[in-house]
């Protein structure tokens, strides 16, 4: 069964796409937790960061570089937060690795 992210990547479900390349897709979160809340989603299905393998190293680095690039394009020059949830206790709701980019307001610590 396909996840919502696989359906967005395939075009079955529409999304507000901010960036797309051969390795990933960046969309606006439909339930934003900050004024700017983007999701950087690899096109390769990796269920969660805890399931990533050594061969995923280059795509993981790519996701972080794209996160920084889209944060810059969204004018988050005063700062932003990058979050990757892993497992239900970590807040994961979709079993497809994705990077949250949150900004546009002061972030609190601890985060959750």
Task: Give tens-digit pLDDT for 20-35.
Answer: 999 999 999 999 999 9
| Strands in the chain per DSSP E | 17-20, 24-28, 36-42, 80-83, 99-103
Q: What per-residue confidence (pLDDT) applies to 39?
A: 98
Catalytic residue, candidates 19, 37, 62, 98:
98
Is the pLDDT at 112 greater than 80, yes or no? no
pLDDT level of residue 111 (50, 70, 90 thresholds): confident
For the cut 90, the answer to whether the pLDDT of residue 107 exceeds it is yes
> Superfamily for 4-103?
HIT-like (3.30.428.10)
The overall average pLDDT reported for the chain is 97
Q: Does 1 score more than 90 pLDDT?
A: no
What tokens appear for 66 in the block? 């794209």
Token match 């889209």: residue? 70
Give alpha helix (H) positions in 1-112.
4-10, 57-73
User: Is residue 98 annotated as part of the catalytic site, yes or no?
Assistant: yes
- Residue 82, burial from CB neighbour count under 10 angstroms (0-12, 13-18, 19+): middle
Give the strands of the sheet with 24-28, arranged side by side: 17-20, 24-28, 36-42, 99-103, 80-83
pLDDT at position 58 over 90 = yes
């Amino acid at each position: 069964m396909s996840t919502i992210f696989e359906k967005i990547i395939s075009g079955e479900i529409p999304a507000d796409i901010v960036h797309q390349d051969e390795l990933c897709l960046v969309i606006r979160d439909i339930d934003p937790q900050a004024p700017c809340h983007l999701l950087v989603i690899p096109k390769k299905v990796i269920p969660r960061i805890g399931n990533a393998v050594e061969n995923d190293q280059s795509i993981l680095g790519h996701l972080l570089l794209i996160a920084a690039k889209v944060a810059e394009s969204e004018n988050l020059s005063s700062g932003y937060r990058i979050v990757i949830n892993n497992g239900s206790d970590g807040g994961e709701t979709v079993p497809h690795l994705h990077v949250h980019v949150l900004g546009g307001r002061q972030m609190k610590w601890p985060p959750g």
